[in-house]
Amino acid sequence: MLPRPEVTPLTEPYWSGLAAGELRFQHCRDCGNAWLPARDECPRCLSRSHDWQVASGGGRIISWVVYRQAVHEAFVERIPYNVAIVELDEGPRLITNVDAREEELAIELPVRLRIDEDDGLHLPRFTLAGGRWSR
């Protein structure tokens, strides 16, 4: 069983958005900054005036690492697997997975959002924008 996130009133719009097929991020009404993960105030200007917006689904790889040893028993059968930082077209960055072989990953590579249900959780994952490979 996958480790479970703690869903709070602050993070509930994120998780319910994924369940509805949307990746939602917070957007500051004062300075226009956009961010993930959820927090009470804008990390740029500290305003508490923000709303949730829906991501377009596009992004690019900023960085990644390939795990060859599981950090949790739920991931043993997934080895090797990547953990990537993807920057959405709208600006926020998130930690996720890219459905691609290790040799296909590259910085700045465009990716597309795919929301997967995994062990009862809806999770944002990405595929290569060119669709060169898929499991």
The domains of the chain are located at 12-128
- The residue type found at 76 is V
pLDDT attached to residue 135: 36
Q: Which residues on adjacent β-strands are paired with residue 17?
A: none
**Cut 0.85: pTM above it:** yes
Q: Under a CB-based contact definition with an 8 Å cutoff, are residues 129 and 12 in contact?
A: no
Residue 76 has pLDDT above 90, yes or no: yes
pLDDT attached to residue 133: 42
Tell me what the mean pLDDT of segment 78-89 comes to: 96
Q: What is the mean pLDDT of the chain?
A: 94
Residue 131 has pLDDT above 70, yes or no: no
Tell me what the mean pLDDT of segment 90-115 comes to: 97
- Write the class of the CATH domain 12-128: mainly beta
Tell me what the mean pLDDT of segment 78-86 comes to: 96
pLDDT-based confidence at residue 1 (cuts at 50, 70, 90): confident
pLDDT attached to residue 40: 98
Question: Tokens 């923000």 map to which residue?
Answer: 50
Q: What is the pLDDT of residues 6-47, one digit of tens each?
A: 999 999 999 999 999 999 999 999 999 999 999 999 999 999
Tell me what the mean pLDDT of segment 105-133 comes to: 90
DSSP calls for 50-90 = EEEEE--SEEEEEEEEEESS-SSGGGGGG-SEEEEEEEETT
